[in-house]
Amino acid sequence: MHKAVIGLQWGDEGKGKIVDYLSEDFDLVARYQGGNNAGHTVIVENTTYKLNLIPSGVIRGKPCFLGQGVVLDPEHFLNEYDQICQKISNPKIYLSSNISLILKYHKHLDKINESLLTGENKIGTTAKGIGPAYQDKVGRKSIKLYDLKNLSYVEEKLKIIKKFYDPTLIHFGEEPINIKECIDFLRTFTSKIGNLIIDNSLIKNEFSLKSILFEGAQGALLDLDHGSYPYVTSSNTVSSNIVIGSGLQLDYKTIGIFKAYATRVGNGPFPTELFDSIGDYIADKGVEIGTVTKRKRRCGWLDLVSLKYSCQINRVSELCITKVDVLNDLKEIKVCKSYQLKKYEDINFSDSNYLNTIQLLEDDYDIFPSWGDISEFKSYNELPDNLKNYITFIENYLEVPVTIVSLGPERNQTLLK
């Protein structure tokens, strides 16, 4: 059976580690959306792997596929691919020929877009050109990987793009599009990784009867249509986009991943955010620094209201809770079960103006006692009752079973329930 690993919060839930853990039992690991604004950190036997585009299944030597829903920065991919090749012998990586490219001018446009916003109106984008690249995809101006077979055609396409974007770039003090520089770079890029580019049909023919693990990027609450708009990413992160973004018409079961608390990078609603020493403690203990942005993440208590919504829109059949070890030493742990005593059915999670006005009441939380150090436990049954009670409360609220518990960053710090 095919499976999908989906982050249920605002990203950074630990998808990379869990995909690495699960991928041993799959024949292919596929990514279906996002760009190098995703950051997955995996630690295996004292070796740290930082991945932005390539699925973390590559660490186990599994074939990995980037589907057509991904936008790809060629410069970044070359660097990431080179780093992986230094650690892993002959990685098997396939790129859908239908992928849209992120080019230099997309990054300049991203910078311009963010500069026009002020204060809390800023999205907090990574400025890596992902948004403008998706805009070009919708606007039918993308340079696709399959276009690289004919650079003369790409050059003609860039002449039209240059006429469209140069006035904006020049007006805001950014350099105009340099067609020759772009073509020269794409020629070098193609010479280095052209053999990785394949038609979707080749993946379908080779793997449709085998087991596939789909790796999500960002979190479901950042989904372009279902998240807290406009503080969202530029693609659909929910599981229903898998078929479109991968090009693989397959059934799958969804594993939803969430932290034992909540974090968010950038601006946008965050009802359970902590502004006190506890929030600072969680950030420090959990090393809550954006893998891509390098910014300190905002931290707060676990939010079951938004998590219930996320489970619904992703058709989640099982859950994985991560970073429970971060809360070990706290005297008490809070869990949000309602917004001003309203449950998830009454909330519009795409309405940022509404979500920003929410002031949670004391009765919106349940409080749990600490479970202490859990670093030495090797099975779920050994875990302290306080932690088990915490997990059971979550399961009952979400009506979905927790099947995986992550106690730390290492691969072997993972328990099956």
User: Which positions are catalytic?
Assistant: 12, 40
d(CA 308, CA 397): 8
Instruction: Please name which of 346, 328, 214 lies closest in space to residue 261, comparing C-alpha atoms.
Output: 328
d(CA 243, CA 260): 29
Specify burial of residue 251 (Cβ count, 10 A radius: 0-12, 13-18, 19+).
exposed
- Let me know: does 143 contact 157? Beta carbons within 8 Å: yes
Q: If you write DSSP's letter for every residue of 160-224 in order, what string do you get?
A: HHHHHHHHHHHHTTPPPP-HHHHHHHHHHHHHHHGGGEE-HHHHHHHHTTS-EEEE--S-GGG-T
Partnered with residue 214 across adjacent β-strands are: 4, 30
The secondary element (H helix, E strand) that includes residue 336 is strand 332-336
CA-CA distances (angstroms) from residue 384 to 28, 70, 257, 391, 407?
A: 36, 42, 21, 11, 13
Q: Which two tokens stand for residue 176?
A: 């105009």
d(CA 131, CA 128): 8
Cα-Cα-Cα-Cα torsion 147, 151, 155, 160, nearest 10 degrees, comes to: -10
- Let me know: does 358 contact 271? Beta carbons within 8 Å: yes
- At 313, the amino acid letter reads I
Q: ω before 167 within 30° of 0 (cis)?
A: no
Q: Which two tokens stand for residue 263?
A: 């974090």
